[in-house]
Amino acid sequence: MSKQPVTIEFSLPEWVNGYCMSYRATSNLSERMQFVIKAAQKNINLKTGGPFAAAIFEEKTGELVSLGVNLVTTQGMSILHAEMVAIAVAQKKLGTYDLGAENVASHELVSSTEPCAMCFGAVPWSGIRTVVTGAMDEDARNIGFDEGPKPDDWIFELASRGIKVIDKVERESAVEVLTEYKCNDGFIYNSRES
Amino acid sequence: MSKQPVTIEFSLPEWVNGYCMSYRATSNLSERMQFVIKAAQKNINLKTGGPFAAAIFEEKTGELVSLGVNLVTTQGMSILHAEMVAIAVAQKKLGTYDLGAENVASHELVSSTEPCAMCFGAVPWSGIRTVVTGAMDEDARNIGFDEGPKPDDWIFELASRGIKVIDKVERESAVEVLTEYKCNDGFIYNSRES
pLDDT digits (tens, 9 = 90+) for A82-97: 999 999 999 999 999 9
Question: So what's the pLDDT on residue B2?
Answer: 53
* Cβ atoms of residues A122 and A83 within 8 Å: yes
Which of A15, A52, A59, A78 best tests the B interface by mutation, with the highest count of B CBs <10 A? Answer: A78
Whole-number average pLDDT of chain A: 94
pLDDT tens digits, A77-130: 999 999 999 999 999 999 999 999 988 999 999 999 999 999 999 999 999 999
For residue B82, give the nearest of B110, B45, B105, B59 by alpha carbon. B110
Taking 70 as the pLDDT cut, the residues of chain B under it are 1-2, 190-194
Which among B9, B119, B192 has the least Cβ separation from residue A127? Answer: B192
Q: How far is A84 from chain B (nearest CA, A)?
A: 7
Residue A146 confidence (pLDDT) above 90: no
Give SS3 for B79. Answer: coil
The SS3 of residue B49 is coil
Q: Does residue A72 register a pLDDT over 60? A: yes
Q: Let me know how many helices (H) and strands (E) chain A has, helices first.
A: 8, 6
Predicted TM-score of the model (pTM): 0.95
Closest residue of chain A to B95, computed from CA coordinates: A76
Q: Give the pLDDT of residue B184.
A: 85
Q: With bands split at pLDDT 50, 70 and 90, how would you rate the model's confidence at A186?
A: confident
Q: In the predicted model, what is the mean pLDDT of residues A140-151? A: 90
Q: What is the pLDDT of residues A13-37, one digit of tens each?
A: 999 999 999 999 999 999 999 999 9
CA B172 – CA B120 distance, rounded (Å): 22
Query: CA dist B124 to A148, A151, A156, B26, B91, Å?
Result: 7, 15, 23, 25, 14
DSSP state string for B112-171: EE---HHHHHHHHHHT--EEEEEE-HHHHHHTT-------TTHHHHHHTTT-EEE--TTH
pLDDT at A187 over 80: no
Which residue(s) pair with B67 in the sheet?
B55
Q: H-helix or E-strand containing A72? A: helix A72-75
Complex confidence, ipTM = 0.95
B118 contacts B79 by C-beta, under 8 angstroms: yes
A4 confidence band (pLDDT: 50, 70, 90): confident
What is the pLDDT, as a whole number, of residue A155? 96
Q: Give the pLDDT mean for A44-69.
A: 97
Q: Do A100 and B194 touch (CB under 8 A)?
A: yes
User: Per CATH, the architecture of B39-181 is what?
Assistant: 3-Layer(aba) Sandwich (3.40)
Closest by Cβ to A121, choosing from B5, B120, B189? B120
Please give the full DSSP string across A48-64, using - where no structure is assigned.
Answer: SS-S-EEEEEETTT--E
- Percentage of chain B beyond pLDDT 70 is 96
- Which one, of B37, B192, B55, B142, lies nearest residue A161 by Cα? B192
Q: Residue A149: which of B4, B16, B151 has the nearest Cβ?
A: B151
Closest alpha carbon to B110 in B27, B10, B35? B35
CA dist B7 and B5 (Å) reads: 6
With a cut of 90, say whether residue A145 has pLDDT above it. no
Pair B100, B127: CB distance under 8 Å = yes
Q: Which pLDDT score is estimated for A22?
A: 95
Nearest to A59 by CA among A109, A23, A107: A107
pLDDT attached to residue A191: 66
State residue B194's pLDDT score: 40
Do the Cβ atoms of B91 and A72 come within 8 Å? Answer: no
Q: How far is A94 from chain B (nearest CA, A)?
A: 10
Do residue B11 and residue A16 have CB atoms under 8 angstroms apart?
Answer: no
pLDDT greater than 50 at residue A194: no
